[in-house]
Amino acid sequence: MQKEYLLAKPARDAAAKAKMEAEAKVIVADVPVHADNEWNISVVDDNEPKSTPGTSSDALPEGLTHELPIADEVLKPPASGAPDMAINDLEDLRRQLDALNAN
């Protein structure tokens, strides 16, 4: 009896494997690529072309403006007169501090 079982085992294993693969193909085919969900999470293809600058998420509707400066504007170097003004402000602050310490 054990010999018969051992002889028939490879055929049973192959049949079970084929059945599982066939069921897996059917299950994969039935599942939608992207189902709607309550969190509005979406899957996008990495191979799709990047959006154009005009459709950027930073673009605001007409009539609205940014309250805070945009990061790109902050990184721009200041105008040529700005460093001189900062030095003058520093000197003015130093004079004020000296006046307070003199009292």
Q: Distance of CA 45 to CAs 27, 42, 49, 93, Å?
A: 22, 10, 9, 56
**pLDDT at res. 16:** 92
- Residue 63, Ramachandran bin (φ over 0: left; ψ between -120 and 50: alpha; else beta): left
Q: pTM surpassing 0.75?
A: no
* Residue pLDDT, tens place only, 21-34: 888 776 655 555 55
Q: Mean pLDDT in runs of 10 for the chain (103 residues)?
A: 83 91 68 66 69 60 80 64 68 92 84
C-alpha 41: how far from its chain's center?
A: 12
In single-letter form, the type of residue at position 102 comes to: A
**pLDDT at res. 13:** 92
**pLDDT at res. 8:** 87
